[in-house]
Structure 1
Amino acid sequence: MRRVFLFVLAIIAAGSVMAQTDSASRSNMISHKNMPRSGDHFMLQFGYLGWNGTPDSINTSGFPRTGNVYFLFDFPFKTSPQWSAAIGAGIGSDNMYFKETSVGIKDITSSLVFKNLADTNSFKKYKLSTVYLEAPVELRFTARPDDNKHSFKAALGVKAGLLMSAMVKGKNLENKAGNTINSYTMKEKSKTFFNKNRIAATARLGYGPLSLFGSYQFTTLFKEGVAPDIRPFSIGLTLSGL
């Protein structure tokens, strides 16, 4: 974790040096204090969720998805308004879907069991959901800081997360022939098998209020030795503004 934060600080420092060099080469530089700008303080993200390292024995299905909401403070570099650093907080949620499978997050076992239910009863819809309290940090570049809504943008950063909730949810119990046995919703919550903290690299690239985002988790989703070494990743769209 310390290496990740040192890496981000190095990126920010490098960006600052680049900005100072650029500003020194232009005699007519406009001060950022006199330049109106929107800092993209609010970010709403939605996208596809993947699990790197998932063995073939785990039967995922559907469209796994991630959703994030962040509020960040943007700090433009004094020497160049095109560069800035942002830090904030928010909520990140992931939803992974399964077919003919149960995930024993409440089982009293030494390891997390992904049970194949192809030959018995299973839920028609079944998912594993996690929710994190997160702190993102970004190094940002905006081509036109005086017109943020009509500008090319790029950002590179990391986010640290604290696990708030882990839950499995099943809906509509069926037999192996696909016939409904009972139309009800089952919920189970437990954080026993999960890593309580996560660190992920992030990147964004876009124009105006819309951008593509990607993230890759350095830390494993589950504790060491209790489940496969799965590292989630995501890609999707960001809507930003304010």
Structure 2
Amino acid sequence: MLRGQQKSSDSSFYREDQFYLGISMVFLTSSTLEFEPSGLSRHFQWGVIRDFPLSTKGTWAAAVGAGMGFDRYTTNLKRIEDKGLSTYTFQQNDQKNSFFITQSALELPITLRWRNSIASDYAFWRVYGGVSLQWFYLVKGKNDENKVNLKNDFETFGATAHMSIGYNTWNFYVGYSLTPLFSEAAQANSSVPLDMVPLTIGLIFYIL
């Protein structure tokens, strides 16, 4: 792994400002039995992190960053629009067309970090945990080759709790959304429950 370890006049004090890159699978959790993810859903993220050491040796630190996240969900939902209002139902067993949902977001990750590193060590254990605040600036859907803008159906702002654990190059990543996908208005108008919550599991790399 390549890491940015920025030393101060005290060689025991350093910071790890990093770029990050992650790719994960997404599991849409739901209490609705009729809901079936009908394919592979995935998540991609990238950005930059500013490190603020909380201890002299740099074992503990806080970090704030800025980045982007992209999600693609594959579902068995069916969207129906009538007089400007959209409602959702589930496709029947004989219907084979998946409903694809793509989200693009600006993200603000806030993280508490622990690592057993020193300024001259390039291989160490790390545990990072925190919350990413999100602004979903673009949400689109696709079904039967028809593309629709879903921004009004989905929450504009969200938050995801996340944790990454790894040694050297490989870092395991897990994230769980603290906010629902669909807006309150979309849930109220829908003929079926829209309680899907993304669970993200994959890998993340910290690079400089």
Task: Calculate the TM-score normalised by the size of structure 2.
Answer: 0.81
CA, structure 1 residues 45+107, in 2 after alignment: closer, same or farther (shift >3 Å)? Answer: farther
Deviation at 1:75, TM superposition (A): 1.2
Look up the SS of the partner of 2:173 in the other structure: strand
| Structure 2 portions without partners, runs of 5+ | 1-7, 188-193
The residue aligned with 2:89 is: 114
Correspondences of 1:11-160 after superposition (within 5 Å) = 33-35=10-12, 39=16, 41-99=18-76, 101-104=77-80, 108=83, 112-116=87-91, 118-119=93-94, 123=97, 126-147=99-120, 149-160=122-133
CA pair 114-93 structure 1, distance change in 2 beyond 3 A: farther
Q: In the superposition, relative to structure 1, how do residues 69 and 53 fare at CA in structure 2: closer, same or farther (>3 Å)?
A: same
| Aligned-partner residue type, residue 89 of structure 2 | F
- Match of residue 212 from structure 1: 172
Could you tell me how far 1:41 is from its partner in structure 2?
1.2
Deviating 4+ runs (over 6 angstroms): none
How big is each residue's C-alpha offset from its partner over 1:196-231, in whole Å with a ceiling of 9 and x where there is no partner?
110121111001232011111111111125332222
Distance in 2 between residues matched to 1:169 and 1:33, nearest whole Å: 55
Aligned equivalent of 1:191, options 151, 156, 167: 151
Task: Give the partner amino acid of 2:166.
Answer: G
Counterpart AA for 2:181: L
Q: Deviations over 1:107-148 (max 9, x none)?
A: 54655313415446x54x641111111100001111013245
What is the distance in 2 between the residues matched to 1:236 and 1:148? 25
Q: Summarize deviations over 1:169-198 as a string: whole Å, max 9, x none.
A: 34xx5xxxxxxxxxxx43222311111110
In structure 2, C-alpha distance between the alignment counterparts of 1:58 and 1:107, rounded to whole Å: 22
- In structure 2, relative to structure 1, the CA distance for the partners of 1:188 and 1:147 (3 Å cut) is farther
Distance 2:82 2:123 in 1: 52
The residue matched to 1:226 in structure 2 has which SS? Answer: helix
Any idea what SS the aligned residue of 2:186 has? Answer: coil
Higher normalized strand content (fraction of residues):
2
Q: CA 1:188 to 1:110, structure 2 compared with 1: closer, same or farther past 3 Å?
A: closer
Whether contact under 8 Å (1:38, 1:148) holds in the other structure is: no
- Partner of residue 181, structure 1: none
Give the match's secondary structure for 2:206.
Answer: strand
Structure ranking higher in helix proportion: 1
Q: Deviations over 1:54-73 (max 9, x none)?
A: 52223321111111112111
Q: How many correspondences in the alignment? A: 196
| Whole-angstrom distance in 2 between the partners of 1:210 and 1:32 | 31
**Structure 1 residues 162, 79: CA separation in 2 closer, same or farther (over 3 Å shift)?**
same
Q: Per-residue displacement from partner, 1:14-53 (whole Å, max 9, x unpaired)?
A: xxxxxxxxxxxxxxxxx88314857151111111112222
Paired residues of 1:151 and 1:208 also in contact (CA < 8 A): yes
Gaps of 5+ in 1: 1-30, 174-184
What is aligned with 2:139? 166
Distance 1:61 1:147 in 2: 48
**What TM-score does the superposition give when structure 1 sets the normalisation length?**
0.71
